Structure 1
Amino acid sequence: MFTGFPVTALDFYEDLESDNSKSFWAAHKPVYDESVRAPMIALLDELEPEFGPGKVFRPHRDVRFSKDKAPYKTHQGGFVETTPGAGFYVQVDARGLFVAGGHYAHSPDRLARYRAAVDAELRGSQLVSVVAGLEAAGFDIGGEQLKTAPRGFGTDHPRIELLRHKSLTAGRLFTSPDWIDSPRTLTEVRDAWVAMRPLVDWFSDVLG
């Protein structure tokens, strides 16, 4: 049963940011296993009946093509995929708890389908309404964007801001909440994911 993330989870990542080395990891791996990984698994297990099975991301970074050779991620993420590249996300790190939802990765085919849906009056208007509702509820809208209009669309398109997105997410950061080590964390994540469900469902309907 999920009872929260111990405060030692935040401390662990604060220390890891200062010493991202294999020796630090080896010395503190029991802290990671007990205070980070195990609670994340328990959290996703609790949410599975309502949102679907979740995945706990591996802690090691892929440094093959990166100039930054730090071996470990300074956060722990969990993801529930509803359609390829889209779903619900939760993360714990030194800052606290981050929750998000939306579409994270577009293939060329899916990006074309996304833009066609935004261009269509019915689907496009639905997405405008969903995004506006999330912004009004205090969520931050993010995602990779083009600086200009995508090819084939004019800058005067009524939904040009959405068309510029290559990925589209909504998220909220809870900075060092005093409830992170309690079962309330489950409630906060669930409530945020419920609020973001219209965005995730829109992508699942369009791209699924």
Structure 2
Amino acid sequence: MSPPTPFAGFPPGALSFYAELEERNSRDWWLTHKAAYERDVREPMLALLDALEDEFGPAKLFRPNRDVRFSADTSPYKTHQGALVGSGSVLGYYVQVSADGLRAGGGFRAASPATTRRFRAAVDAPASGTALERVLAALDAEGFEQLGERVRTTPRGYAADHPRIETLRHKELMVVRDHGAPDWLATTEALDRVRDTWRTVRPLHEWVSEHLGTD
């Protein structure tokens, strides 16, 4: 088997592919433009993940198809290509490319209510909760955005004036940095940017690994 092609950046065609897909999200359009997807999106993403594997581990490339079984939106294809480097089903490092450009980050998704309970217990505990707040403050200073499903009210069993109530409202917690579509996206610098982003997220990854496990 031939070695993978070295990562050279995401070409402009990757962004224009998704910009047009947003307007013409159909099976016929996809089949007509599948070669562009393979060339401009899938192959560069695989090359990027291959270049990062030694430091962060193997990645899962998400399928381009949407699961529309329980959705009112029946568009058949995702309007971005994402990939996850994970230590299990609940946490990892994430990267995606779309019409808006490059996004990267990490954190955890709740695999079950038990995952959320363990997360909140660790946030509630003074030592681990304070440690997480320091990690999140540092990420906030670096321009990361916090994402993930959360409740608007006070979670059952916790006081409304808890010092970490905003974090306790999370059922899951991810942080992302949107890099947009600068000129360097089409160069090898994109690899350095994703690597640096994941390194910055590593303290959150380590906290989640320690307190939630990797189930």
| Equivalent residue number for residue 159 of structure 2 | 154
Cα displacement (A) at 1:180: 0.8
For 1:191, give the aligned amino acid: D
Aligned equivalents of 1:35 and 1:135: distance in 2?
32
Q: Alignment partner of 1:135: what SS?
A: helix
Aligned equivalents of 1:140 and 1:106: distance in 2?
21
Asked if the contact 1:83/1:207 (under 8 Å) is kept, the reply is no
Cα displacement (A) at 1:175: 1.5
Cα distance change, pair 100–82 in 1 and its aligned pair in 2 (3 A)? same
Unaligned stretches of 5+ residues in structure 1: none
| Equivalent residue number for residue 205 of structure 1 | 210
Please state if 1:41 is matched with 2:41. Answer: no
- 1:2-41 mapped onto 2 (5 Å cutoff): 2-41=7-46
Aligned equivalents of 1:106 and 1:126: distance in 2?
23
- Counting aligned pairs with the same residue, the percent is 53
Please state if 1:144 is matched with 2:152. Answer: no
Cα displacement (A) at 1:17: 0.4
Q: Alignment partner of 1:172: what SS?
A: strand
**Which of 62, 68, 87 is matched with 1:63 structurally?**
68
**Which of 119, 124, 127 is matched with 2:124 structurally?**
119
Aligned equivalents of 1:83 and 1:125: distance in 2?
25
For 2:145, give the aligned amino acid: D
Please state if 1:89 is matched with 2:94. Answer: yes
Cα displacement (A) at 1:65: 1.2
Report the RMSD for the aligned CA atoms in angstroms: 0.8
Q: TM-score, normalised by structure 1?
A: 0.98
Cα displacement (A) at 1:106: 3.9
Aligned equivalents of 1:47 and 1:201: distance in 2?
18
Aligned residues: 208
Unaligned stretches of 5+ residues in structure 2: 1-5
| Equivalent residue number for residue 3 of structure 2 | none
Aligned equivalents of 1:66 and 1:84: distance in 2?
23
